[in-house]
């Protein structure tokens, strides 16, 4: 659809802040009024809509923060336990636990970028994970998996929307949690998640299809990171 409104605004309401389009409350695809807990997030969402040029088609790429908020309201809230499970299951096969055996430069790069995150998981959550060389599945300690699940479950519904997205995009729960905790920037998360591919690009170059895919990954990671920042410490439930 094309831009159909002239003005965007934000107003306080019960439970938080809502975005107005020409004075009318914005609604999610499921027709719920889109209410978010912080003014910063409401203003960022309003900014997305305000940035759409007059008469332009409104696409998903214009509205990443809106999409995350709507997903949190429409999909996470009614099936919270399933979203927690779908996010936390990445702890059982986290990208960071599977290491190359060669070449030495790649082995060292993985150790330098990934091991600090594994060490952080052990100290921050009491959740050490087992590292293996190659792609053969390795079972992770039950206690560590349970503690990482608890870390996921500590997030509010809206934060879970972003955390799930970050985890799925990165292929790593630890990378996503590090972004949520402010330990990694979106760019650092991209560098960690795409480490192997970036190494190959350095050696052989990047084709246009891969470049486009990487641009999309960067945008999605940046949107998830910004969304969580705008929640302003609304990570924990309550």
Give dist(CA 150, CA 210) in Å, integer: 35
Which residues touch 236 (CB under 8 Å, ≥6 apart)?
Answer: 154, 155, 156
Q: Where are the domains of the chain?
A: 8-62, 79-230
Classified by CATH at the fold level, domain 79-230 comes out as ATP12-like fold (1.10.3580)
Nearest Cα to Cα of residue 57 among 8, 6, 3: 3
> Which pLDDT belongs to residue 234?
52
Residue 57 has pLDDT above 60, yes or no: yes
At the second CATH level, the architecture of 8-62 is 2-Layer Sandwich (3.30)
The strand pair at 24-25 and 16-21 is best described as: antiparallel
State the average pLDDT over residues 116-140. Answer: 96
Residue 238 has pLDDT above 50, yes or no: no
Residue 63 has pLDDT above 70, yes or no: yes
Q: Report which DSSP code applies to 172.
A: -
CB–CB of 49/7 below 8 Å? no
For helices 173-180 and 80-88, angle between their N-to-C axes, nearest 10 degrees: 120
pLDDT in tens, 178-215: 999 999 999 999 999 999 999 999 998 988 998 999 99
State the average pLDDT over residues 116-129. Answer: 98
Give dist(CA 30, CA 41) in Å, integer: 20
User: pTM score, two decimals?
Assistant: 0.94
């Amino acid at each position: 659809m094309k831009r159909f409104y002239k003005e965007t605004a934000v107003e306080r309401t019960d439970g938080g802040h809502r975005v107005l389009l020409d004075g009318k409350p914005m609604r999610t695809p499921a027709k719920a009024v889109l209410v978010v807990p912080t003014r910063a997030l409401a203003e960022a969402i309003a900014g997305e809509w305000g940035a759409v040029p007059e008469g332009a088609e409104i696409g998903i790429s214009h509205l990443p923060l809106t999409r995350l908020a709507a997903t949190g309201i429409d999909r996470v809230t009614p099936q919270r336990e399933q979203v927690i499970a779908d996010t936390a299951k990445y702890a059982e096969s986290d990208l960071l636990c599977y290491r190359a055996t060669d070449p030495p430069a790649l082995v060292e790069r993985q150790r330098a970028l990934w091991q600090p995150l594994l060490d952080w998981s052990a100290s921050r959550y009491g959740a050490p994970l087992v590292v293996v060389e190659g792609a053969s599945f390795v079972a992770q300690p039950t206690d560590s998996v349970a503690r990482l699940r608890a870390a996921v479950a500590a997030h509010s519904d809206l934060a879970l929307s972003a955390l799930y997205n970050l985890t799925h995009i990165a292929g790593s729960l630890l990378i996503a949690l590090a972004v949520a905790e402010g330990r990694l920037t979106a760019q650092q998360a991209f560098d960690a998640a795409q480490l192997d591919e970036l190494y190959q690009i350095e050696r052989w170059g990047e084709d246009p299809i891969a470049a486009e895919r990487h641009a999309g990954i960067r945008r999605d990671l940046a949107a998830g990171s910004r969304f969580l920042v705008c929640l302003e410490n609304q990570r924990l439930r309550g």
